[in-house]
């Protein structure tokens, strides 16, 4: 039903639930994620909820350059996130391993292991940049529709609307408070 | 053998379960109360909080996520718990004696208390049947919490009912005001944060500590059902206190309006408590209910016995 | 009771939240994106040497060089800005933008090397005479 798909697309962009995972970061970006839920930047005005279990979340927020110890954990957690999902790489470390570029304890940037949708650069990124990144991931999620749960490390074309997407107004980033 | 009386009471029962205060009213009211709690807590913390339709968006989004594959008897059980919780909470809301001429039967108070207890039982069972260690920890905490507040809750309600020699909800709702009734209402209000998993007694669903506790393995439409049962529990619990407080009105729409308004006030009160306190540990919680508030229940039972002996 | 008065004041005092697309103004000393002015660059590659994260790449060619900067790799420490003698690099008070493809933000510049002024060519005889004169007179400076 077209109406149901349109409603689903709209609701997916308005209710992004995030799960935060640290893959060896210095904790600077993690602190800024917590700051983005604080009163000044308030990610909850977009409907963002920090969930305790990856099975509840839609968006996986990963910080840290991916260390060897963390690769399997990241892939497992990515597989545990259900349904239409998106990944946000927060900070310069998961995008490009930043200053740790020659380290022999790292297993490379994040997009080598799981498909990443949004990169939020910065060291650490400002909390308003993090909120902007989550909002962009929510729009990508809404346009993506639902694909069956497949194994990780499959390169996905970003921004490609799934078959279910009827073009709704979900690309506008206005919030009614 | 459908005599007109049976037919009439059947339609009344169906109307109470499905229309008011049943599903058609209770589900939007549940979403409204959930939003009020989140918005009030956000405003009191100095931030904006979610927009008005947020619980509705969450519900629809969860319905659209992938369903987990569950196999075997354990899987069937896991799928069943949220449905049992939603039906029990909806049934509890349907039993509330809001309208003056809504009928009811002797003993529906006991049925209401049992139905109000079922969602907690389902959470406990769900945590254990998910075979995850976080689920087990969360469920055992929920079980201890349930044992601790139920002592006060049940003693308070039963003493109000027993003092008037009645176990029928509609008769309870039309009781004259008495100090015993206010004592019982105060005791029930103290138990409500624990029943609804609010701060300071929100231990079972400690998000970051035990990875959502009993709900850790649930996703998609099942999680939508859990959220809905939580919202319906809000409506049922606050509605119970509201029907005990509100005096009897003859006009049905005044009774309905006052019921909704009083429930809203109780929701605000619970939000203030949730925003002002932090989460207590399990031993502090049990000590609070068994040492501090037991005095309410003891007083309620004592005055109930006194009133029965006097009458 | 303190907490209840605080909650009351928060409820009526309004929220301190910035409504979503609004972003706060950062201070002047904020270390943001690195800005490059190709007109001032002399191609010394000190910035590439000082960069901690290998965000700056420098490739020398014949008569020209290529300088590139990748904001996704950068850690915004400011060592390149401090080390540039020509003041061709400066740090903005602008946060790097979010992007969706790796390597999307990388900017490369190919700059022709500036022609340096060569010293004037002196005729050979005058140079030799000047050298003999200088060698005979040790009081004058001579080559240092």
Q: Where are the domains of chain C?
A: 34-114
**Are B64 and A11 inside 8 Å of each other by CB?**
yes
The confidence band for A160, taking pLDDT boundaries of 50, 70 and 90, is very low
Contacts 24+ apart (CB under 8 A), A169-176: A169/A10, A170/A9, A170/A10, A170/A12, A170/A13, A170/A14, A170/A139, A170/A142, A170/A143, A171/A139, A171/A143, A173/A135, A173/A139, A173/C20, A173/C21, A174/C20, A174/C21, A175/A45, A175/A46, A175/B51, A175/C19, A175/C20, A176/B51, A176/B52
Q: Which of A99, A122, A158 is nearest residue C95 as measured by Cβ atoms? A: A122
Residue C12 tokens, joined: 């009526």
pLDDT at B210 over 50: yes
| Angle CA B128–B131–B135, to nearest 5 | 55
**C-beta of residue B144 within 8 angstroms of C-beta of residue B286:** yes
**Are B46 and A15 inside 8 Å of each other by CB?**
no
**C-beta of residue A51 within 8 angstroms of C-beta of residue A57:** yes
**C-beta of residue A90 within 8 angstroms of C-beta of residue C72:** no
Nearest residue on chain A to C71, alpha-carbon basis:
A121
Average pLDDT on C26-42 reads: 87
How confident is the prediction for chain B on average, in pLDDT? Answer: 86
pLDDT at A162 over 70: no
Integer-rounded Cα Rg, in Å, for chain A is: 16
Chains with 3+ CB–CB pairs under 8 A to B are A, C
Dihedral sign computed on CA atoms, order A35, A41, A44, A46:
negative
pLDDT at A170 over 50: no
Task: Quote the percentage of chain A above a pLDDT of 70.
Answer: 82
**C-beta of residue A109 within 8 angstroms of C-beta of residue A63:** no
* Weakest-pLDDT range from A18-27, A60-69, B246-255: B246-255
Average pLDDT on A78-88 reads: 91
Q: By three-state DSSP, how is residue B263 classified? A: helix
From B298, B192, B272, select the one nearest B239 (Cα to Cα).
Answer: B192
pLDDT per position as a tens digit, C102-135? 888 888 888 888 776 677 776 665 555 555 555 4
C117 touches chain B (CB under 8 A): no
The DSSP element (H or E) to which B279 belongs, if any, is: none
Give dist(CA B27, CA B10) in Å, integer: 22
pLDDT at B104 over 80: no
The confidence band for A158, taking pLDDT boundaries of 50, 70 and 90, is very low
**Are C16 and B44 inside 8 Å of each other by CB?**
no
Fold (CATH) for A2-144: Rossmann fold (3.40.50)
pLDDT per position as a tens digit, B35-76? 999 999 999 988 888 999 999 999 999 998 888 888 888 888
**C-beta of residue A6 within 8 angstroms of C-beta of residue A37:** no
The predicted pLDDT at position A166 comes to: 44
The confidence band for A151, taking pLDDT boundaries of 50, 70 and 90, is very low
Task: Quote the percentage of chain B above a pLDDT of 90.
Answer: 32
**Are A45 and B51 inside 8 Å of each other by CB?**
yes
CA distance B247 to chain A (A): 37
**Are C17 and B275 inside 8 Å of each other by CB?**
no
pLDDT at A172 over 60: no
DSSP 8-state secondary structure symbol assigned to residue B11: H
Chain A residues within 8 A of B205 when measuring between CB atoms: 52
Nearest residue on chain A to C14, alpha-carbon basis:
A39
pTM of the model: 0.85
Give dist(CA B138, CA B132) in Å, integer: 10
Domain C34-114, classified CATH 3.30.70.3270, yes or no = yes
pLDDT at A168 over 80: no
The DSSP element (H or E) to which C104 belongs, if any, is: none
Q: Which of B66, B208, B210 is nearest residue A83 as measured by Cβ atoms? A: B66
pLDDT per position as a tens digit, A95-140? 998 889 888 999 989 999 999 999 999 988 999 999 999 999 999 9
pLDDT per position as a tens digit, C67-92? 999 988 989 998 999 999 988 898 88
pLDDT per position as a tens digit, B137-190? 889 988 999 999 898 898 888 888 887 778 888 877 777 777 778 888 888 898
Q: Backbone phi, then psi, for B144, in 5-degree steps?
A: -65, -40
CA distance C134 to chain A (A): 56
Nearest residue on chain C to B276, alpha-carbon basis:
C3
C1 touches chain B (CB under 8 A): no
**Which residues, numbered 63 to 82 in chain A, qualify as contacts with chain B under a Cβ-Cβ cut-off of 8 Å?**
82
Q: Which of B64, B207, B210 is nearest residue A12 as measured by Cβ atoms? A: B64
* Weakest-pLDDT range from B163-177, B285-299, C37-51: B163-177
Strands C107-112 and C64-69: antiparallel
Q: Which of C15, C99, C101 is nearest residue A39 as measured by Cβ atoms? A: C15
User: What is the ipTM score, two decimals?
Assistant: 0.83
pLDDT per position as a tens digit, A130-139? 999 999 999 9
The confidence band for A68, taking pLDDT boundaries of 50, 70 and 90, is very high
From A13, A17, A20, select the one nearest A56 (Cα to Cα).
Answer: A17
The predicted pLDDT at position C46 comes to: 92
Nearest residue on chain A to C105, alpha-carbon basis:
A121
Chain C residues within 8 A of A99 when measuring between CB atoms: 52-53, 75
Average pLDDT on C15-31 reads: 83
Q: Which of C26, C75, C102 is nearest residue A123 as measured by Cβ atoms? A: C75
pLDDT at A155 over 60: no
**C-beta of residue B35 within 8 angstroms of C-beta of residue B54:** yes
**Are A42 and C15 inside 8 Å of each other by CB?**
yes
Chain A residues within 8 A of B206 when measuring between CB atoms: 52
pLDDT at B227 over 80: yes
Q: Which of B47, B48, B275 is nearest residue C7 as measured by Cβ atoms? A: B275
């Amino acid at each position: 039903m077209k109406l149901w798909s349109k409603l689903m697309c709209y609701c997916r962009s308005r209710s992004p639930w995030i799960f935060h995972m640290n893959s060896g970061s210095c904790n600077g970006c993690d602190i800024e994620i917590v700051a983005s839920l604080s009163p000044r930047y308030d990610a909850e005005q977009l409907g963002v909820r920090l969930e305790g279990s990856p099975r509840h979340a839609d968006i996986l927020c990963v910080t840290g350059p991916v260390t060897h110890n963390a690769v399997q954990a990241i892939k497992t957690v990515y597989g545990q996130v259900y349904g239409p999902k998106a990944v946000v790489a927060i900070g310069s470390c998961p995008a490009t391993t930043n200053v740790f570029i020659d380290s022999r304890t790292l297993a490379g940037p994040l997009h080598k292991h799981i498909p990443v949708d949004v990169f939020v650069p910065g060291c650490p990124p400002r909390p308003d940049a993090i909120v902007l990144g989550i909002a962009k991931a929510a729009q990508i999620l809404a346009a993506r529709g639902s694909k069956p749960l497949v194994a990780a490390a499959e390169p996905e074309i970003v921004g490609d609307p799934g078959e279910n997407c009827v073009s709704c107004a979900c690309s506008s980033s206005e919030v009614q408070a | 053998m459908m005599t007109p009386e049976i037919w009439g009471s059947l339609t009344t029962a169906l109307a109470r379960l499905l229309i008011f205060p049943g599903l058609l009213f209770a589900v939007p009211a549940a979403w409204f109360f959930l939003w009020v709690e989140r918005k009030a807590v956000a405003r009191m913390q100095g931030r904006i909080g979610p927009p008005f339709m947020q619980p509705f968006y969450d519900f629809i989004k969860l319905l659209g996520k992938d369903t987990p594959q569950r196999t075997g008897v354990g899987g069937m059980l896991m799928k069943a718990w949220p449905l049992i919780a939603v039906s029990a909470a909806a049934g509890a809301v349907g039993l509330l004696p809001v309208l003056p001429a809504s009928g009811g039967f002797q003993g529906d108070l006991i049925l209401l208390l049992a139905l109000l207890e079922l969602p907690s039982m389902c959470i406990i069972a769900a945590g254990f049947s998910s075979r995850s260690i976080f689920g087990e920890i969360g469920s055992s905490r929920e079980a201890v919490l349930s044992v601790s507040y139920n002592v006060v809750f049940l003693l308070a309600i039963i003493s109000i009912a027993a003092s008037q020699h009645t176990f029928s909800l509609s008769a309870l709702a039309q009781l004259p005001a008495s100090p015993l009734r206010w004592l019982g209402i105060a005791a029930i209000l103290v138990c409500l944060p624990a029943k609804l998993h609010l701060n300071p007694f929100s231990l079972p669903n400690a998000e970051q500590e035990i990875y959502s506790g009993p709900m850790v393995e649930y996703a998609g439409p099942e999680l939508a059902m859990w959220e809905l049962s939580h919202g319906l529990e809000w409506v049922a619990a606050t509605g119970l206190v509201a029907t005990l407080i509100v005096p009897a009105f003859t006009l049905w729409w005044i009774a309905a309006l006052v019921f909704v308004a009083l429930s809203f006030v109780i929701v605000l009160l619970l939000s203030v408590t949730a925003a002002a306190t932090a989460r207590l540990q399990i031993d502090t919680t049990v000590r609070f209910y068994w040492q501090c508030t037991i005095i309410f229940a003891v007083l309620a039972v004592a005055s109930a016995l006194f009133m029965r002996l006097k009458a | 009771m303190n907490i209840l008065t605080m909650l009351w004041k928060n409820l009526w005092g309004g929220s301190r939240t910035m409504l979503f697309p609004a972003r706060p103004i950062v201070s002047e000393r904020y270390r943001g994106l690195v800005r490059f002015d190709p007109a001032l660059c002399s191609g010394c590659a000190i910035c590439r040497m000082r960069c901690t994260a290998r965000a700056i790449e420098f490739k020398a060619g014949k008569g020209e060089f290529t300088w590139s900067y990748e904001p996704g790799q950068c850690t915004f420490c400011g060592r390149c800005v401090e080390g540039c003698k020509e003041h061709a690099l400066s740090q903005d008070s602008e946060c790097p933008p979010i992007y969706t493809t790796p390597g999307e933000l990388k900017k490369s510049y190919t700059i022709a090397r500036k022609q340096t002024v060569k010293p004037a060519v002196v005729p050979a005889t005058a140079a030799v005479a000047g050298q003999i004169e200088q060698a005979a007179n040790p009081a004058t400076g001579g080559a240092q």
